[in-house]
Amino acid sequence: MDAKLIVDEVRLTPILISDPPLLNVQGVHQPSTPRLVVEVITRGGVSGLGETYGDGVYLDLARPLAEALPGHPVTDVNALFTLATATDPTPATGATSATAPALGAEEPDAGVSAAGLRGVRTAEKLRLSVVSAFETACLDALGKTLGLPVHALLGGKVRDTVEYSAYLFYRWAAHPGAEAADDWGPALDPAGIVAQARRFDRLHGFRSFKLKGGVFEPEREIAAIRALAEAFPGRPLRLDPNGAWSVETSLAVARELDGVLEYLEDPASGTGAMAEIAARTDVPLATNMCVTTFEEVPEAFAKGAVRIVLCDHHYWGGLGRTRELAALCRTYGVGLSMHSNTHLGISLAAMTQVAATLPELHHACDTHYPWQTEDVVTTRPVFRDGRLAVSDAPGLGVDLDRPALASLHRRWLDDDGTLRDRDDAAAMRRADPAWRPSTW
Chain residues binding Mg ion by CB under 5 A are: 240, 265, 288
Q: Catalytic residue among 212, 314, 343, 363, which?
A: 212
412 vs 422: CA distance, rounded Å: 12
Rounded Cα gap, residues 111 and 4, in angstroms: 44
> Within its chain, how far is the Cα of 316 from the centroid?
11
> Which is nearer to Mg ion, 269 or 281 (by Cβ)?
269
Which among 244, 307, 259 is positioned nearest to 112, based on CA atoms?
244
Q: How far is the CB of 288 from Mg ion (least distance, A)?
A: 4
Q: Which is nearer to Mg ion, 323 or 339 (CB)?
A: 339
Nearer to Mg ion (CB atom), residue 343 or residue 430: 343
**Residue 389 contacts residue 161 (beta carbons within 8 Å):** yes
Residue 144 appears among annotated catalytic residues: no
Least distance to Mg ion from the beta carbon of 102, Å?
A: 19
Let me know if 408 is exposed, middle or buried by CB neighbors in 10 A (0-12, 13-18, 19+). Answer: buried
Contacts of the segment 153-157: beta carbons below 8 A, 24+ positions apart: 154/319, 154/320, 154/323, 154/353, 154/354, 154/357, 155/323, 155/357, 156/357, 157/356, 157/357, 157/390
Helical segments of 96-189, H only: 123-146, 150-153
Minimum CB distance to Mg ion, residue 127 (Å): 22
Residue 266: CB minimum distance to Mg ion, A? 5
8 A C-beta contact, residue 209 and residue 231: no
> Residue 213 and residue 192: Cα distance in Å, rounded?
14
- State the minimum distance, in angstroms, from the CB of residue 254 to Mg ion: 16
Name the residue nearer to Mg ion (CB basis): 73 or 241.
241
**Looking at beta carbons only, is 240 or 375 nearer to Mg ion?**
240
Nearer to Mg ion, 88 or 240 (CB): 240
Residue 196 sits at φ, ψ, to 5 deg, of: -60, -45
- CA-CA-CA-CA torsion for 185, 114, 66, 82, nearest 10 degrees? -140
Instruction: Please report how close the Cβ of residue 146 comes to Mg ion at its closest, in angstroms.
Output: 35
- Nearest one of 336, 201, 219 to 239, comparing CA atoms: 219
Q: Which is nearer to Mg ion, 265 or 421 (CB)?
A: 265
- H or E segment and range at residue 56: helix 56-68
Smallest gap from residue 289 Cβ to Mg ion (A)? 6
Q: Name the active-site residue from 339, 343, 363, 368.
A: 339
CA distance 192 to 186: 7
Residue 244 in 3-state DSSP? strand
Question: Measured from the CB atom, is 288 or 347 closer to Mg ion?
Answer: 288
Find the shortest distance in angstroms from Cβ 337 to Mg ion: 10
Contact 5, 15 (CB under 8 A): no
Residue 210 is a catalytic residue: no
CA angle, 379 then 369 then 292, to 5°: 125
Dist CA 357 CA 149 (whole Å) = 12
Active-site residue list: 212, 339
